[in-house]
A and B are shown apart, each in its own frame.
Chain A
């Protein structure tokens, strides 16, 4: 099968200094007007917002594009959309590109919803014939009742988005770019959106979805791209990509600290495996050293999810006594881990005998649960923790 998007060694420069950025803009325009090629070397105050990114997308793919703020996700979408040009490399796009990026772009507040449908549909690339044929479908999908004949400025932001989505979802593009727009609207409308997107995907539309919501990504995507600081870190299946991204997120939530002159510290913490399935046993070995063998030590561990924060803590004093040595090798086992698909981190804390004897907290230790797949459409268990369940009638 031929790829529908082909991104080859693409880099894009950005400049954080506005005055310089504007001037570089003038330079770039002049370069192109003179028929020359933009040079890829960095000028003063510039950096690469995207750096040497390559990947291919095929019809029917649904790609979750992940990465922290400033990772380059939106820049990449804009380039695939043809809004901005790469400074290096090429992007080949085949077919009609639709964007759920800025819903309702070009809406005029003084005009009615119905009038704006015609304008917005033309903006996103429908022909006048298509607009005529689809207006009724769009109105039904948006389901705004009599508001459809009121000026758009009287709409709530949710209503605007509904109308915008309804129009964009009826474009039937070959490629659909979605940037953080699925998080709005009530549940019923969101489910209708997902259903529509699934229909499009089945019909061969390739979807590139940017979202910070793991559940949305899980619902839609079969592949993931992970960007960190402009570089393509991972191009893999959704389970690996999403759980890696989530553990990265959780890692960034956690800070390692130590008390100055603390009598004890963590030397080494190692997981037996950092890629598990739900109900596997998680096993970690810790090496702890102390300058005072008489000091009784206590280890606490937090299990952290980026979505919900600390899920639970357990402490060592329940099982072991850490006293009488200068170094301890401790193994922690968490059997039957009830965590579901996603990325997590462990953080270990080292305490003395009393409440106030805090010595150190470890670096975050990431691990991921890669299976079994959960069902986020409400046909099976999903989200973070698995609860055993029985139903009777």
Chain B
């Protein structure tokens, strides 16, 4: 290994190669970190894994209650509970993809500053946690949804693509923010507020309006079209939506986020180490 003040991106092919090799080499550690955090997270808890799907369920139930009591009139064609449940599930997946990597980074901050581990392990461990949380939510969703009137539809085959895009998008936002969030606590605080705001703004508990495209704040939130398309597929729509460019764009963003993350780690350690 050669350590120097020269940017690792100067030799870009070598950087990409090291990114791939390090990712492969870190799989074992990533698995250990993932299982450690998972088993430790719920060891001091009575309800255990139930906590993984309680937040979106409670959110969904709240809106279902509000609609049932006619406090809100969201004007949805079909089952409102199913609509809300699908939306909150997708939104929570997006939120997880943003917050879990930040959390995993935070948990392993001391470790990173003391031991030269493959940084990719953090990303892989975070992916594992996101996937785990998604699977739990899907199991619950699939157990409830048929009772709320969910029927099979051909476009549901595209749901994994939608979920993948959503996760890649959230994950890349997280990775881009990660260096700043390690240095400044403002990021964590600001992010919580911003995400709550974005949730209320996005057409998750209500139908997207016809003038959606004119809503500049929602059009800034790239997750909205992905969530809307994926929900529509689940609920039986046959339109494809703008998923293809969004999927490609998210993957590209994800790679950029990963690069920023990998490049920033030694600098973060030298600023926050000890």
Which A residues have a C-beta under 8 Å from some C-beta of B?
Answer: 12, 21-22, 24-26, 28-29, 31-38, 40, 74, 78-79, 81-94, 97, 99, 101-102, 105-106, 108, 110-111, 115, 118-119, 122-125, 127-128
Contact = CB atoms under 8 A, between A and B. Distances in A.
B134 interface: no
Nearest to B264: A29
Contacts of B36: 106, 108, 111, 115, 119
B47 interface: no
Nearest to A82: B116
Interface centre among B8, B29, B44, B113 (most CB of A within 10 A): B29
Interface string B237-274: 00000000000000000000001100110111111011
Interface of B: 1-10, 12, 28-29, 32-33, 36, 39-40, 43-44, 108, 110-111, 113-117, 179-180, 183-184, 259-260, 263-264, 266-271, 273-274
Given A22-B183, A35-B10, A119-B36, A29 B263 contact: yes
A24 B179 CA distance: 13
Across the A-B interface, the 6 shortest Cβ-Cβ residue pairs: A102-B114, A25-B271, A38-B5, A84-B270, A122-B32, A35-B9
A22 B180 CA distance: 9
Given A33-B260, A119-B33, A127-B28, A83 B7 contact: no
Contact of B43 (A86, A110, A123, A125): A110
Given A106-B115, A124-B115, 5 more contacts: A21-B271, A26-B183, A83-B266, A106-B110, A118-B32
A97 B29 CA distance: 16
Contacts of A25: 183, 267-268, 270-271
Contacts of B28: 122, 127-128
A32 B4 contact: no
A78 B272 CA distance: 13
A97 B271 CA distance: 23
Nearest to B8: A32
Given A29-B179, A29-B264, A83-B269, A97 B116 contact: yes
Interface centre among A29, A82, A101 (most CB of B within 10 A): A29
Contact of A86 (B4, B179, B259): B4
Contacts of B12: 35
A92 B1 contact: yes
A150 B2 CA distance: 41
A301 B74 CA distance: 93
Contacts of A84: 266-267, 269-270, 273
Contacts of A22: 183-184, 271
A49 to B, nearest CB: 10
A82 B119 CA distance: 12
B263 A33 contact: yes
A105 B32 contact: no
A101 B114 contact: yes
Contacts of A105: 110-111, 114-115
8 contacts: A83-B114, A97-B116, A102-B115, A106-B33, A106-B36, A111-B36, A122-B28, A123-B117
Contact of B3 (A31, A33, A82, A101): A82
A76 B170 CA distance: 37
Nearest to B35: A119
Contacts of B32: 118-119, 122-123
Nearest to A79: B3
Contacts of A83: 113-116, 266, 269, 273
A78 B274 CA distance: 11
A12 B273 CA distance: 14
A280 to B, nearest CB: 43
Contact of B5 (A26, A33, A37): A37
A99 B111 CA distance: 12
A82 B117 CA distance: 10
Interface centre among A22, A25, A36 (most CB of B within 10 A): A25
